[in-house]
């Protein structure tokens, strides 16, 4: 018996579509599934699982992560906080922290450059704030900016659980585009030695230019921007390469807690105008 498939047009007539045409798309579909299997897995873990757990537990993913930290980590021990967070994000419920592998680049830059004044854009739950703060020299201070009040509340608890007080890590709850122009007048900052960007990727270029305009970047100031390949910040990268204001280096990596998705970080050193 011949199999016949039909498409109905607006005129009311039906036209037969050969099964061979439909079957011709199967290899393409299979190829796409195989090629982007890690992206489908990320969608499942980061979105679908989160939605289900949000409904069944009645609390946010960030609050679930903090509860896990409370019961599985050692208070006052930053290393224990980070290790527990890494286990949660890789084995329990996915969360897009910088992670241990890319985190080593951040650790090295903090250790080698001993910055005294650090700005973080995008605190989220406080993972990277704890990672930065544990490597800072005595007397240094981290200003961490988070626009989401709920995430900031969790981050505050995580940072304090790790043992850092307000003198070491100051959490600023406000959009980055409002905070950056106020850093000099409101917080008395004359120069930023180190900036870590891990907020909305579409804001990277805007906020970099705001930092330039504020006069807070001095010769040798370092900016480290995460996720510049995935989800990606192409306009930011083009500007950095063409502006003549920075020496730049791309650290190739994979997405945090996902081996199959290519990612990277951009390390910039401000050299000023030529």
Q: Enumerate the active-site residues.
A: 198, 201, 226-227, 256
Q: Is 99 exposed, middle or buried (0-12, 13-18, 19+ CB in 10 A)?
A: buried
Structure tokens at 157: 């608890």
One-character DSSP codes across 191-253: -EEEEEE-S-GGGHHHHHHHHHHHT-EEEEEEEEE--IIIII-HHHHHHHHHHSSEEEEEEEE
Take residue 35 and report the two structure tokens written for it.
Answer: 């090629």
Instruction: Give the whole-angstrom CA distance, residue 145 versus residue 171.
Output: 6
Beta bridge partners of 90: none
Q: If we measure between CA atoms, which residue out of 23, 99, 129 comes closest to residue 256?
A: 99
Among 233, 237, 234, 194, smallest CA distance to 216 is for: 194
DSSP assignment of 124-176, as one string? TTSHHHHHHHTTPPTT-EEEEEE--HHHHHHHHHHHHHTT--TTTEEEEES-H
Eight-state DSSP code of residue 188: -
| CB proximity list for 244: less than 8 A, separation 6 or greater | 273, 274
**Contact of 247 with 267, CB cutoff 8 Å:** no
């Amino acid at each position: 018996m011949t199999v016949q498939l039909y498409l109905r047009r607006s005129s009311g007539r039906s036209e037969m579509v050969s099964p061979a045409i439909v079957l011709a798309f199967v290899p393409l579909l299979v190829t796409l599934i195989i090629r982007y299997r890690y992206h489908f897995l990320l969608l499942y873990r980061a979105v679908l699982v989160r939605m289900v757990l949000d409904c069944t537990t009645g609390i946010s993913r960030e609050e679930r992560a903090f509860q896990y930290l409370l019961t599985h980590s050692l208070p006052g021990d930053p290393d224990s906080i980070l290790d527990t967070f890494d286990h949660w994000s890789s084995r329990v419920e996915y969360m897009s922290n910088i992670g241990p592998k890319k985190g080593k680049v951040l650790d090295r830059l903090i250790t080698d450059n001993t910055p005294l004044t650090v700005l973080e854009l995008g605190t989220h739950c406080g993972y990277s704030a704890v990672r930065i703060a544990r490597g800072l020299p005595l007397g240094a201070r981290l200003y961490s900016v988070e626009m989401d009040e709920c995430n900031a509340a969790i981050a505050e608890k995580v940072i304090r659980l790790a043992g850092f007080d307000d003198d070491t890590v100051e959490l600023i709850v406000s959009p980055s585009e409002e905070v950056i122009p106020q850093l000099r007048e409101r917080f008395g900052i004359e120069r930023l030695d180190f900036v870590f960007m891990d907020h909305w990727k579409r804001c990277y270029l805007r906020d970099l230019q705001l930092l330039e305009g504020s006069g807070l970047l001095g010769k040798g100031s370092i900016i480290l921007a995460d996720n510049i390949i995935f989800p990606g910040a192409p306009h930011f990268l083009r500007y950095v390469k063409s502006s003549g204001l920075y020496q730049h280096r791309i650290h190739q990596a994979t997405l945090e807690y996902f081996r199959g998705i290519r990612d990277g970080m951009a390390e910039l050193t401000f050299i000023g105008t030529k």
